[in-house]
Structure 1
Amino acid sequence: MSFRYELYHYIVKHVLGSNCPIANDMTLNRVLDVGTGTGLWALDMAREFPASKIYGCDVAPVIDNSQTRPNIYWGNADLLRGLPYSDNSFDLVHQRQLCVYIGERQWPLVARELYRLCRPGGKLCLIELLPTVTVASDIVSWHDCELSGRVAAVRCINDLIQQTLHKSGVRPEAVACLGDLLSITGFANVRHDTVELPRGDWAGQLGRCMLSYTHKLLIATVPAVAASTDTPRQEYEDMIEHAMPVLALGRASHRLHVFTAEKPLQ
């Protein structure tokens, strides 16, 4: 699991050009990483900004905090029940890859909590990659029986992932509306940018890393999909392996959603 998170962290860092582009023009006294997971982003930020206090908080203990630094502070708390930090206490609040854990009806509560934690003039950065995968548009029209079967497998995988998440009230596609939600919550200067993460040999080492991450991501869905649908575990695993070759064809990519916003001074 930790290797998958590590791979994702460095892919996103490479594509964005830094851990958090908006941080480069800020004075950072206190930074919060919500849903810190393995703590990789927080650790990287602690190294990059040694004079800043970096807080990493997650509902579960950080997977590996053996490489902690003197300016980093780990915490355990449930975002949905409120985090144990004072109002207006962080210059930068960062959250990534929580769209598969936050229910559609819970997002307004999450947005309000993130707003509470930002200091006036502070900034928010949300980064989300949807758990479903797409086939490159330039191969969809190819007329090949074997290829068509693999494309059908991709569609079936996506359907099963969505069914599994929807049963628990989670709709990752709601990410598309986060910009409007942040504005309604009170944030200003809201931006929604999308970045394509290339997948496959056509994009060199980065593309191969993304293909590897995609495979690990799909494998990680096996227990949940098998438990919540009528699809046998082995059948679903075989479906993933059957689909993987087509996910590397053409100019394939995976879309990353990046939201940035600022809490008004007044």
Structure 2
Amino acid sequence: MGNNLSNKLKKSTPSPSINMQEDPDFRFINGRRYHNFESIKYPLPNDDDEVDRLHQQHFLLRYVWQRNFASPIKHVLNQKGTKVLDVGCGAGSWIFEMASNYPNTQFTGVDISPIQPTEIKPRNVDFVKANLLNGLPFEDNTFDYIFQRFLFLAIPKDSWPVIINELTRVLKPGGYLELVEINPTPFQTGPVTDQLFSAGDLRQRGLDPEIVYKLRSYFEKQENLENVIEEKNKLPYGPETGKLGQAAAENTRLGFSHAKPFLQKDLNISSEEYDNRLDIVVKELREFGTYHDICCVYARKTQFSY
């Protein structure tokens, strides 16, 4: 999985500097760089190691879905003047690959952290620093297509309807909105795996671990969205999945490793014990045939808003 784009992205991602440690947007915990916003629920860092994990995650998901998007917009993406928004673009993996595949389209990535690669940024890509929870800095009816993926760790439970309304606001009539989410609680888990996934209860942090099963309902309740389509899939770890499962297990191990400052405290164990459990988790994910539910929901904005 992955290609030359993956290596280019890794090499071109800005590295933290001494000046960045003085940036009020960031805070450092045990040498790892994190968001410094009280309103942000996201527990993972935004440094180079996490950027690499996000690149790997992108290629994993592309392999699972065998695509980068589901909405029927390929013909639109090939037209000049088309505008696409990637919300919570993170390391920029999706947007860079899409921009390379569809050079006639103008892509805009929005994220709260300026961690996207800059040296290889195509001409048809721009990045905007903004907090989605405070609204998007765009006019109504701006984009032909809006994509958002895996923000269950960032969006509070009660904010999802508001966010979908905001995404719909900046979408052009006739344009498509597409969201992809995962159930963070896997199925068929071993005992140690279950302990780690249960740590840091998302509900206590005001998040919704079951948003993957609610997206369709939220879309259907948004009066300006029509033709709502839901597609389901799985992110598997079992031995029958070969290299896919191995890569998925490694990506999960990295995620737990990067969330260590928070989860170790919740588990009340030593640093050494925490690391030992990560090794066990990788084995259990494979042996127990663990998997996550993933869901993609997309819909078209009505030609005439109510």
TM-score by structure 2 length? 0.76
Q: What is the alpha-carbon distance in structure 1 between the residues aligned to residue 95 and residue 278 of structure 2?
A: 32
The offset of 1:230, in angstroms, is: 4.1
- State the Cα deviation string for residues 97-126 of structure 1 (Å, max 9, x = none): 111111101111111111101111110111
Gaps of 5+ in 2: 1-49
Query: Structure 1 residues 226-235 or 216-225, which shifts more?
Result: 226-235
Kindly indicate which of the two structures has a greater share of residues assigned to helix.
1
Question: 2:53 — aligned with what?
Answer: 4
Matched, 1:18 2:67: yes
Q: Secondary structure at the match of 1:21?
A: coil
Aligned to 1:88: 141
- What residue in structure 1 maps to residue 165 of structure 2? 112
1:237 maps to a residue whose letter is D
What fraction of aligned residue pairs are identical, expressed as a percent? 28
Measure, in 2, the Cα distance between the counterparts of 1:51 and 1:107: 32
Structure 1 CA distance, aligned partners of 2:95 and 2:193?
Answer: 34
**1:198-233 deviations in Å (ceiling 9; x for gaps):** 314321222221121121122222222234564554
**2:97 and 2:122 mapped to 1: Cα distance?**
10
Q: How many residue pairs align between the two structures?
A: 250
> CA shift at 1:59, angstroms?
0.8
- Decide whether the 8 Å contact of 1:200 with 1:210 is kept in 2: no
Query: What is the alpha-carbon distance in structure 2 between the residues aligned to residue 231 and residue 193 of structure 1?
Result: 39
Q: 1:224 to 1:99 in 2, by over 3 A?
A: same
- 2:280 — aligned with what? 242
- Residue 232 of structure 2 corresponds to residue 194 of structure 1: yes
Counterpart of 2:220 in structure 1 is: 183
**Higher relative CO (CA 8 A, sep ≥ 6), structure 1 or 2?**
1
- Gap runs ≥5 in structure 1: 137-150
The 1:24/1:109 distance shift into structure 2, 3 A limit, reads closer
Aligned amino acid, residue 114 of structure 1: L
Residue pairs, 1:1-266, within 5 angstroms: 1-22=50-71, 24-28=73-77, 29-135=82-188, 151-161=190-200, 163=201, 165-186=202-223, 187-227=225-265, 230-266=268-304
Higher mean displacement: 191-200 or 28-37: 191-200
Distance 1:72 1:166, change over 3 A: same
Given that residues 181 and 295 in structure 2 are in contact (C-alpha distance below 8 angstroms), is that contact kept between their aligned partners in structure 1?
A: yes
Q: TM-score, normalised by structure 1?
A: 0.87
* Corresponding letter in the other structure for 2:93: L
Alpha-carbon RMSD across the aligned residues, in angstroms, is 1.9
SS of residue paired to 1:180 = helix
